[in-house]
Structure 1
Amino acid sequence: MIKPPTPKRAALFLFHWLAGGFFLGTLTLMGPVRWATGYARAAGWSEGSEKLTVFALIGALAAVSLLLAALLTRKTESAAGPAGRWGLPAASLALFLAALALWLNPKLINGAAAPGPAESFSWSEFVFGPYPEEERLKALKAEGYTAVISLLSPAVLPFEPLLLAREREEAKEAGLELIHIPMLPWVSANDHVTPALKELAKRGPGKYYVHCYLGKDRVNVFKRLLAAASGGAVKELDASSARTLKGIKSFERGEIKELERDVYLTPYPTDEEFFGYILNGTVGTLVSLLDPANPENLPWIKKEAAIAGKYGLKLASYPWLALDKAGKQAAVREIRAAQKPAVIHAFLSKATECEEFAAYYAAAKAK
């Protein structure tokens, strides 16, 4: 017979679910999710396929954690004596704390990840890397760094707020200024970064260590914003820390074609694809084939223009269907001469613009 829910039983179930779920989630992220995404990127899966795989794993995790929480709740309620009733909650708490301890030790997550080379952007020098431990902060102070710029976000619970608090204390002890510019891995969530960089520029020359947790996606997008704010370009990109389109077979809205070395014909990127592949410093020129005369295209054109302007990405527009034959041939010549890597897109990869553009591009290559 199923017992009716009570506040006590609901609280016990929620405790087991959150504590056990966090532990299982950590194992899932460190194991199956990491293996699956690594395989997906090596095999050239689309962002959509990769996301679907991750969501499937998360769904399985949610189901298993719910079933486990229900089982532990029943076992806890039916246990005899204080030791039995408190033993299972204590075990769940211990697993939660073990997982939290892992996340609070970035060395174990990052392994031997090292910071990249120093890069100059207009007014200052920047070094990018993973979360710095206490000894690294002391070394930065000894090496004459002006400050550390932390991109950790309080919204990444539960460990980034704790890491940020620890970093504040350790930076203070090391005598090193900590500048907090939180970033999230979404193109629409970082409007505050450019004003913060402009304020930083007013301070004059300096040397800064910039980090997120792993020293990958967020720092690469920060570079793009930094280059835009300083009027420079992204330099010395560490290819091992950024995703590129090389070998990627499709985006969510359709397939990707490599027309020639470092020239890709794609569908319109999703926000996640913009952040992961376009704005991370690996794309030199972005080309839109959308026609602004089509009202359905206008929101997408305006959105892309805003993103390119914000992140300092070179954007060219060729309203393909409105061009005559000579105009299309001229457009292809200009695009072939543009800064590489170049990404050209319509909305869907099966759109007429993409199919025609691929044919014109092939004809230009054959000459």
Structure 2
Amino acid sequence: MAVEMAIWRVEGDKAAPLTLSPMDSERRLEDMVAEDPAALTGTDLLIIGRQVKTDFGGVVDLLGLDDEGRVHVLELKRDKTPREVVAQTLDYGSWIKALDLGRLDQIYQIYHGDEADLKAAFASRFAPIPDEDVNSDQRFTIIASELDPASARIVEFLAESYGVPINAVFFRHYRDDDRDYLARTWLVDPQQVEAESRRASRTKRRPWNGTDFYIALGRAGMMYRWELASKYGLLSAGGRSRLRNLKPGTRVFAYMPGSGYVGIGRVTGQMIPARVAEVEIDGERQPLLDQPHPDEEWAERAESTDPDVIEMVVPVEWLAPESIREPDQAFREKGLFASQLTVCKLRDEHTIKAVESAFALASQDADL
């Protein structure tokens, strides 16, 4: 149940309540949500469409993607009755669920221009993900000043009892002389909605264990990424977005394209630019860029300040007793997961178990 909110201006020992006033237009609120969805909804979203026409004659106010590729429907109440907006929001779900990446890209181009590229924009804002993860799930948010009790009960019932990922957020507009303020209240705790939705999810996507990532150490002819990993314990990739999900404590299954899996490691530090990284040489810390470079183009990218080009590195400790293998000794067998992405979540249990076994890494070692 939503909690009513009020705001007071404190002047000395007195508290003066601010005046609750209607916003001059819901279009203004929509503009603010579209401009900065994270600030107003609490979720960082890439807005891909606005006033999106469905195949059934409806119009979705705002469509966005979160960092897991889930599609978010943000629907403003406007002049619709409370029950209409709840029913309409759910109806949009039947249409949105069937949208593939190509259709979402078309929606994105209508909103951002014909030359816009959804996958590139997503990778720049978050990190690259497999195509099959895009729109693997949906989230629905009703934006309103209020809902009638019956509609509120419907939303609560669907979210809490059946795990439907729907919620309502209420914005109150206050005026204080020449300044405007917004106060936000959720109908249902967003964390509760997310937990219930994940529990009830019927998605076909394999669950992720929350720890393991796949990383490709370059492509054929890009041995320098393998050399950085094997010699210095550094995973390297171009662009700020590619390694951003590799946090300390996560595991990485290193794959050499064209060869196979060459090692399993544990991330030990934060992502940093290669130009400020240091490595240990004969017991002393020295700048990475002072060491011989196997590739001059890599060195140029390391010196770059362009966020789409700059080489970033993440330190890793190799867990297997044999450390990291030479590419010609890589482990490969039919049915193992492989991807053209630089980094992605490793969900395939068969691959995890097979690579652990190949590198003599027991299950208990995986949790160290």
Name the TM-score class by shorter chain: under 0.3
Comparing both structures, which one devotes a greater share of its residues to helix? 1
With structure 2 as the length reference, what TM-score do the two structures score?
0.26
Comparing both structures, which one devotes a greater share of its residues to strand? 2
